[in-house]
Amino acid sequence: MTQSDAQNDTPWESSICITGHRFEKLPKDDYLQAVKDVLYYHLDYAVMAGFTHFYVGMAEGIDYISALHLFELRSKNPEIKVIGIQPCTDYEEFFKVMHYDLSHLREMQNRLDKIIVLSGTWKDKGVFLRRNKFMVQRSSAILAVCKKSMHSGSMYTLHYARKKGLAYCWIRLDLLPKLPATPKMWTVERNGF
């Protein structure tokens, strides 16, 4: 389902947005599986805490990994809604130019409950930050999976959400535990989540 306008019909108090690095900034091999495990743990927790509407930015990496897990959770709990925020009208072109896996984008497009397409092109300045702000403004919480870096869109989004007073859960990728690691061994900062 696609929705081109920015109308918001999701309940704010049960809405959460997800932000995180793309695959090229994520750890590899066993650490990538460990990141998935800790992410799944916190997504499951969000559902148990009453979150039912999940905003994802439809990017490679954490957005895609989260979406796949949320689709699985939705098969057991139809109250879960996964909403994609497409940052621009030519997003497929961006995937092609960046050599990202277009099948990941298409899979999300086919399985999301709703897609909100924002205006502009991928070459427009600030188009991805605008997408991230859009998600934050419609959420009461954020789940972030990123390194502590001022040069990261995910870190910017987390800072923006905290400034807006959202509850947050930040899975720190700059402080990796030794493997094997259970989800509780990860450094996670949280407030109200």
Q: Is the confidence at residue 36, as pLDDT, over 80?
A: yes
Tell whether pTM > 0.75. Answer: yes
The token pair that represents 8 in the structure block: 């918001």
What is the per-residue pLDDT for 150? Answer: 64
Compute and round to an integer the Cα radius of gyration of the chain: 15
Per-residue model confidence as pLDDT tens digits over 112-135: 999 999 999 999 999 999 999 999
Per-residue model confidence as pLDDT tens digits over 91-106: 999 999 999 999 999 9
The token pair that represents 115 in the structure block: 């897609």
Rounded-to-integer distance, Cα 182 and Cα 46, Å: 18
Query: Quick one: how far is CA 22 from the chain centroid?
Result: 10
Domain that holds residue 52: 2-191
Of all residues in the chain, the percent with pLDDT exceeding 90 is 88
Query: Quick one: how far is CA 4 from the chain centroid?
Result: 20
Closest CA to 63 of 22, 122, 10: 22
Averaged pLDDT for residues 13-25: 95
Strand runs (DSSP E) across the chain, as ranges? 2-3, 15-20, 53-56, 81-86, 114-117, 141-146, 167-172, 188-191
Through-space distance between the first and last CA atoms of the chain, rounded to whole angstroms: 30
Query: Which residues is 105 bridged to in the sheet?
Result: none
Q: Is the confidence at residue 171, as pLDDT, over 90?
A: yes
CATH of the domain at 149: 3.40.50.450
The token pair that represents 23 in the structure block: 């695959």
Which bin fits 120, alpha (ψ -120 to 50), beta or left (φ > 0)? Answer: left
- Which residues, including other chains, have CB under 8 Å from residue 91's CB and lie 6 or more apart? 58, 105, 122
pLDDT confidence bin for 2, thresholds 50/70/90: very low
Q: Is the confidence at residue 4, as pLDDT, over 90?
A: no
Q: Is the confidence at residue 139, as pLDDT, over 70?
A: yes
The total of structural domains in the chain comes to 1
pLDDT confidence bin for 7, thresholds 50/70/90: low
Cβ burial of 32 (10 Å; 0-12, 13-18, 19+) is: middle
Query: Which residues is 55 bridged to in the sheet?
Result: 17, 83
